[in-house]
Amino acid sequence: MDFNPDTSSPTTVVSLDTSLTSYKIPISAIALWPAPNFENPVRRHWLNPIAFCLFLFTTLVLGARLWARITRQAGAFGGDDVFIIFAWIAGALFTALALYAITWGGFDRHVWDIPSNQAVSTGFVAWSAEALFLTSTCLTKVSILLFYRRIMERSYSRTIQWAIYVAIASTVIYFFAFFTILVFACTPVDSAWKSMNLLYRKPYHCVNRREMDALAGVFSVVSDAYALAIPQIVISKLQMQRKQKVVLYCIFSSGLIVVAAGIARTYWMVQLHYSAQRDLTWVGFYMLTYGFIEMCFSIICASIPALKGFFSIFYKEPYSKSSKQTQSRKYDLERRRKAET
């Protein structure tokens, strides 16, 4: 019987070009798989503590940002804060799924070491994590761009404002386009994860996502770089001391971490479709790793500008005390001078 999702005829002859699962794994790649090791497979769990600590740090940074906004220490609470909250919620769900995927979902081992009865749940976790990652990162990008619009609305050229609007519109279109592709890439929809079981027999059809996944990764990186370039252009035109400019450049250049993580994630996404053995879970582990870094640092970088207002709370009182002491000394000196005269 031919297990190719593009054909449901039981009389079709199986060939090495026949593809299985929604990821179009050719039988020629499966033929390269070694014998499965269900009892003692090679496993990787090192990402779990890193992911937990990094997301906890992300949550603390976001909490500091929101506190500074609510107390008006770093501007008023606005639409950019609403978007970043929903981005964090999607990111929290993505983190939970990533930890589950690595601990129990099979992403800690090679794909051939996953029992067939576990393959479906592994596929569903991967599909859900991809949707949550797309949602979180796009919401964060919109939040960052809304923040730019907020601080530049009255102070800078209409060219910069239009550049921000174009970036927001492009991000929204990108989200709906690739979310739709993700949901409807397979017919029926549930075959996207059920077909991960190589024994799945029901007829289904999935589009080849090889080019679309690469395009999604490239567009994500380009949009990150675009959002990173906007404040750099604005800072270069500001009339201020060089030291102040350097500080601003450093603050907004922190987004380079996000761009680098996006490039690494895109590389592994391409490997998902082009590697010789098509080891989905082993490659997927690296996608989770760099995707997690990209998601967390996107939220962190989006919150950095508000942290100045948060930390100023801890320095305000000592500053005011020294200021009062200075004024008191000046007042005493004036009294002495008047008394002497």
Residue 26: strand, helix, or coil: strand
Residue 195: strand, helix, or coil: coil
236: its two tokens: 């270069």
Q: Write the Ramachandran bin of 80: left for phi over 0, alpha for psi from -120 to 50, otherwise beta.
A: alpha
CATH number at residue 109: 1.20.1070
Rounded Cα distance, 95 and 57, in Å = 13
Q: So what's the pLDDT on residue 82?
A: 96
Q: So what's the pLDDT on residue 156?
A: 62
Token look-up 């606005």 returns 78
Residue 175: strand, helix, or coil: helix
Q: So what's the pLDDT on residue 214?
A: 93
Q: So what's the pLDDT on residue 142?
A: 96
213 inside domain: yes
Q: So what's the pLDDT on residue 312?
A: 52
Domain hosting 197: range is 19-33+42-314
Q: Which residues are CB-contacts of 155 (< 8 A; sequence separation ≥ 6)?
A: none
Rounded Cα distance, 322 and 328, in Å = 10
Triad 269, 215, 231: Cα angle to 5°: 100
Rounded Cα distance, 248 and 340, in Å = 51
Q: Which residues are CB-contacts of 280 (< 8 A; sequence separation ≥ 6)?
A: 23, 25, 111, 126, 272
266 inside domain: yes
Q: What is the pLDDT along the chain (341 residues), one digit of tens a residue?
A: 234 444 444 444 555 567 888 999 999 999 999 999 999 999 998 999 999 999 999 999 999 999 989 988 877 899 999 999 999 999 999 999 999 999 999 999 999 999 988 999 999 999 999 999 999 999 999 999 999 888 777 666 788 888 999 999 999 999 999 999 999 999 999 999 999 998 898 999 999 999 999 999 999 999 999 999 888 887 777 777 778 778 778 888 888 999 999 999 999 999 999 999 999 999 999 999 999 999 999 999 999 887 765 555 444 444 344 444 444 554 455 555 555 55
Alpha-carbon separation of residue 180 from 57, 212, 301 (angstroms): 32, 12, 28
329 inside domain: no
Q: What is the pTM of this model?
A: 0.85
Q: Which residues are CB-contacts of 281 (< 8 A; sequence separation ≥ 6)?
A: 106, 107, 108, 109, 110, 111, 114, 122
50 inside domain: yes
Rounded Cα distance, 147 and 6, in Å = 46
Token look-up 């769990």 returns 45
Total domain count, the chain: 1
Q: Which residues are CB-contacts of 105 (< 8 A; sequence separation ≥ 6)?
A: 118, 121, 122, 125
Q: What are the DSSP calls for 127-140, one per residue?
A: HHHHHHHHHHHHHH
Helix H or strand E encompassing 186:
strand 186-187
204 inside domain: yes
Q: So what's the pLDDT on residue 337?
A: 58
